[in-house]
Amino acid sequence: MIENLHQKLEDSYEQMVEWRRHFHQYPELSFQEVETPHKISEILTSFGIEVQTGVGGRGVVGTIRGGKPGKTVALRADFDALPLEDEKEVPYKSKVPGVMHACGHDGHTATLLAVAKVLSEMRADICGSIVLIHQHAEEYYPGGAIQMIGDGCLEGVDAIFGTHLMTTLPLGVVGSRTGALSASVDGFEVTIQGRGGHGSAPHDTVDALIVATQIINQLQLVVSRRVDPLQPAVLTIGSFHAGEASNVIADKAVFKGTVRTFSPEVRVQMEREIRFIVEGGCAALHASADIQYIHSYPSIINHAQETELFIQVAGKVLGHDQVIEAPLLTGSEDFSYYLQHVPGMYFFTGAAMSDPLANFPHHHPRFDFDERAMLIAGKTLLSLVYHYLQEEEQILVD
Which of the residues are catalytic? 80, 138
Name which of 376, 349, 338, 141 is nearest 258 in CA terms.
Answer: 141
Name which of 214, 225, 212 is nearest 273 in CA terms.
Answer: 225
**Cα–Cα distance between 208 and 193 in angstroms, integer?**
6
User: CB neighbours of 272 closer than 8 A, spacing ≥ 6?
Assistant: none
Q: Are 382 and 119 in contact (CB under 8 A)?
A: yes
Q: In sequence order, what E strands does 23-86 have?
A: 50-55, 59-65, 68-78
DSSP H stretches of helix in the chain: 2-11, 13-25, 35-46, 105-121, 144-150, 208-219, 221-225, 264-284, 304-318, 336-339, 372-391
Amino acid at 121: E
**Cα–Cα distance between 78 and 58 in angstroms, integer?**
11
> How many Å from the N-terminal Cα to the C-terminal Cα in the chain?
5
Q: Can you say whether residue 49 is alpha, beta or left, with left for phi > 0 and alpha for psi between -120 and 50 degrees?
A: beta
What is the length of the chain?
398
**Cα–Cα distance between 369 and 353 in angstroms, integer?**
6
